[in-house]
Amino acid sequence: MRTLKPVERLHDRLCGAAPYRQTSYPTATMMELALRRRLDCAQLGDLQLATGQTAVAGDFQVGAKGDALHGARGRDGRPGTAKETVGSSRARWVSCLLVGIVFAGGEAHAQKQFLEPIKVGAISTLALFPESTAAARAYFDVVNAYGGVKGHRLQLIVEDDKGQPQSAAEAAQKLVERDRVVANVGSASALECAVNGKFYESKGLVSIQGTGADPGCFNSANVAPVNTGPYLDAVLGLRFLVDVRNKERVCLVAVAPSPIMKPAFESAVIDWTRSSGKKLAFAALGVSPTESIESLLRSVQGARCDGVVYTGIESEVIEWVKTASRLHIKGVDWVFLSPAYTDNVARTLGAEGEGIFAMSEFEPWSSRSGMLTDWRNVMVRGKVPLTSFSQGGYIAASIFVNMLRSIPGEITRESVTAAFKAMTPRTVSLIGTPFVFGRGTEHNPNRAAMPVRLETGKWVVAHFEYITQTESNRQEVRSGTAP
C-alpha cells in the first residue's frame, strides 16, 4: 500500500473522501497548502483567509464569511446575511479546519531558517496614531511565525515623524536610501504624505498607508491609503444624513489642523453639491482646532441645522457633544468621523452621547461581524488595541503580503512597485469597496463608510449597508456631467 505524503494526509483529514488534486502552490508552506487545498476541495470561493487561531496564509481570513463563535450571527448579533455567514455548516467547517491547522502547525513551526529579510518601512505620527504600525507589525509577526514570505522574514522599520515636516522628510530618506525598504506599509501620519509623496515617486517606492490624513495621501501617484479619509468620509456623512436620515438642512463643520486640508474639504463639498443637487444650510470649512466650539454650535443653531457632520478628533468630539448638551441643542443628528468611534468617547460621554453617529471607514470593529474574526485574533495576539486605526494597519499589511506572494522571482523594490502599479481591483473583506493601486496619479480606493450609533453606552451598527461614493460618480462630477 502506497504511503501517503504529509499533504495528502492533511487532505484526507480536512476533505474526507473528496478527491485529492495535485495543485501547485510553489511559495506556500505546508500549513498554507492545507488551507488552500481545503478551499479547493470544498469549492468555497474567495474567503480571504489570514489567520485561524495562530496561523497565517496570506491575506485570506479564516472565518471571514462567518463566525463560528457567534452561532452564524451577523453584525451586532442580528441574523447574518449571506455575505456575513453561511450558517452552521461553515461553522463546522471552521472547527474542522482549525484541527488541521494544529496538525499543520508543527511542520510550519519547523521552518526556522530564514533567507535575507524583506525590509518594509513605515512613517507615523506615533503620538496620534500608534495602533496602525503596531497592527502591521502584529500581522507580520504572525506571517513570520509560519515561515514568512518565500522563506524571507518581514522586517518592519518604523520611524516617528513627531508631526514635524523635517522629521518626516529625514525618516523617508533614511528608509529609502539607507535601509533600502521595498515599500512602506501601515504608515499613519498627520503630514507625511504631503511631505514625501514626490520623493517616493522619484525613488520608485509605493506606500500603502494604514491611515491617510493629509490631502497628499489621496493625490499622490505612489501612495494609496486603505482608509476612506476625512474628506470623502465627511461627504459620506452628508449622504447618510440626506439619503438615510432624510434630513433637509444639513451642515458641515470641517476642522483643519493644517492649512492644506481646507482646499481638500472645499473640493469634497463641491463634488457632493454637484452630485447630490443639495446645498449646505451652513458650512465652516478649514476651522482651526482652537476655534470656539460654543461659537460654532451657536452658528449651527442659528442656521436651524437638523443634521451636522463634524470632523474633529476624539477630544474635540467630546467637547462638542458636552457643549451642545449644555446649550440645550436638541433635535439634531450629530455625525462624526472615524476618530470619534472609540470606547473612550462612549465611556466619557455616557448618557450625553446617546444617539450620536460616527462613520466607520471599515467593517465596524465593535460589531459581531464574522469578517472581524482574524483581525481580532491577530490584534489580541499582538496586544494591539481594537480600533479603526489598528484595522487600517492590519488591512494594509494583509494587502501587501498577499501581493508579495503573487510576485514571481525576487522580491525587490522594483518588483513590488511594478506589482502594485499593475494591480486590478481586489475585494478586501473589511473594506466596503474593492481596493486597487494601479497606475493612476491619485488614489482613494476605499470609497465607503458604515454608520454606527451610540446606544446605552455602546456603539452599534446604525445602517447595515455601506454608504458609498463611487469613483465613476466623482469623475462625472469633475467633468460636469452629473446633475
Q: What is the pLDDT of residues 90-114, one digit of tens each?
A: 433 443 444 334 334 433 444 457 8
Q: How far is CA 267 from CA 18, 285, 437, 461, in A?
A: 56, 11, 22, 29
Q: What is the pLDDT of residues 345-363, one digit of tens each?
A: 999 999 999 999 999 999 9
If you classify domain 230-360+449-479 with CATH, what class do you get?
Answer: alpha beta
3 secondary structure, DSSP code: P
* Average pLDDT score, the chain: 82
pLDDT at 290: 94
The alpha carbon dihedral of 366, 371, 373, 375 has a sign of negative
d(CA 297, CA 322): 11
Is domain 115-229+367-446 annotated with CATH 3.40.50.2300?
yes
Is-same-fold flag (115-229+367-446; 230-360+449-479)?
Answer: yes
Write out the three cell numbers for 400: 501587501
Q: What is the pLDDT of residues 269-299, one digit of tens each?
A: 999 999 999 999 999 999 999 999 999 999 9
How do the domains of the chain map onto residue ranges? 6-109, 115-229+367-446, 230-360+449-479
Residue 352 burial (10 A CB sphere; 0-12, 13-18, 19+): middle
Helix (H) or strand (E) holding 109: helix 87-109
